[in-house]
Structure 1
Amino acid sequence: MTRAARGSSAPLVIAFAAVVLLLVAVVVDASAAYLARQRLDALADGAALQGADAGAQGVDAYAGGLATGDLAISRAEAEAAVRAYLRDSGAASDHPGIRATVRVDGDRLIVELTAPVDLPLHLPGAPGESLVRAVGSAVVHPDTG
């Protein structure tokens, strides 16, 4: 091999190191976002169950017995129960900036939680704030069997 055919391997090593560091940053950030979403999923499911239980006119159902039809979900009572669940579970301290949306769709209560996630590594060109979203739902349908 002639002297002119030789080259430095330093640029190649630097390029590979940059690619590896970028991949590590992507995996670390994606893992942090995934774990935050999993925690938010658990909160959304618990809040939906609590809201459906309280919002299904619980006082009337437990005091007067179940009628033959479906239980009606009171949106106001369900929303209050969801907010109480999130407060009691410490969701605001675990997920600062958490927002909850409560919807009633027939016999289904749907709780949507959105919270910012603080990613450990900040990639150049990535958005400054990342959000995670989770949806939980519960159905109120007494078994007539």
Structure 2
Amino acid sequence: MKHRRRRDERGQVTLLIIGFAGILLMAIVAVIDASAAYLQRQGLDNLADGAALYGADLGSAGIYEEGLREQRLSQQEAAVRAAVRDYLARAGAAQNYPGIDVGVQVDATGRSVTVRLEAPLDLPLAVPGSPSNPRVAASSTAAVAVVAVD
């Protein structure tokens, strides 16, 4: 009668548990970083919306120079840029988003304002293989329109 040798399977479950724990940990890190990126982009979206509206409002020149003939008021680029800078300074953009880049554009017809904000992304946890200097951006466009009230 031959004796059968039994394979020793002790330790196999330990490897499986360690592997699943590693996968779970990476998933948690990815969710935390994705949430942080989403929240920062939402903050930049809000800031860009406010800056574009403020710039379009204070940069409107059409009502004084052209009257109310057009649907949208024309924008004076220098006034728009000054208004956007003022809004971002009062909102504390540089303190809340260190390294923020601001782009202001008045369209070719001079009737709308686009503000584009880009800032370094501050991720709470580092994922191996992820970009070393990620950035997040947001943009918003606004115009001042004349609406007849009956």
Task: Tell me the TM-score normalised to structure 1 length.
Answer: 0.88
Q: What residue in structure 2 maps to residue 35 of structure 1?
A: 39
Q: What residue in structure 2 maps to residue 89 of structure 1?
A: 91
Letter of the 2:69 counterpart: T
Letter of the 2:40 counterpart: A
2: CA distance, partners of 1:4 / 1:37: 55
2: CA distance, partners of 1:11 / 1:72: 68
Aligned 1:59-74 pairs, distance under 5 A: 61=63, 66-69=67-70, 70-74=72-76
Distance 1:6 1:64, change over 3 A: closer
2: CA distance, partners of 1:138 / 1:78: 11
In the alignment, structure 1 segments of 5+ residues that lack a partner are: none
What is the number of equivalent residue pairs in this alignment? 141
* SS of residue in 1 equivalent to 2:99: coil
* SS of residue in 1 equivalent to 2:69: coil
- What percentage of residue pairs aligned between the two structures are identical? 43
Deviates more, 1:25-34 or 1:7-16: 7-16
Letter of the 1:132 counterpart: V
Q: What residue in structure 2 maps to residue 16 of structure 1?
A: 20
| 1:4 partnered with 2:7 | yes
Letter of the 2:9 counterpart: R
Which residue among 35, 50, 56 is the counterpart of 1:52?
56
Q: What residue in structure 2 maps to residue 78 of structure 1?
A: 80
Kindly state the Cα deviation for residue 117 of structure 1 after the two structures are TM-superposed.
1.5
Kindly state the Cα deviation for residue 140 of structure 1 after the two structures are TM-superposed.
2.0
1: CA distance, partners of 2:125 / 2:65: 56
Kindly state the Cα deviation for residue 43 of structure 1 after the two structures are TM-superposed.
0.3
Letter of the 1:19 counterpart: I
Task: Tell me the TM-score normalised to structure 2 length.
Answer: 0.85
Aligned 1:99-110 pairs, distance under 5 A: 99-105=101-107, 106=109, 107-110=111-114
2: CA distance, partners of 1:140 / 1:22: 47
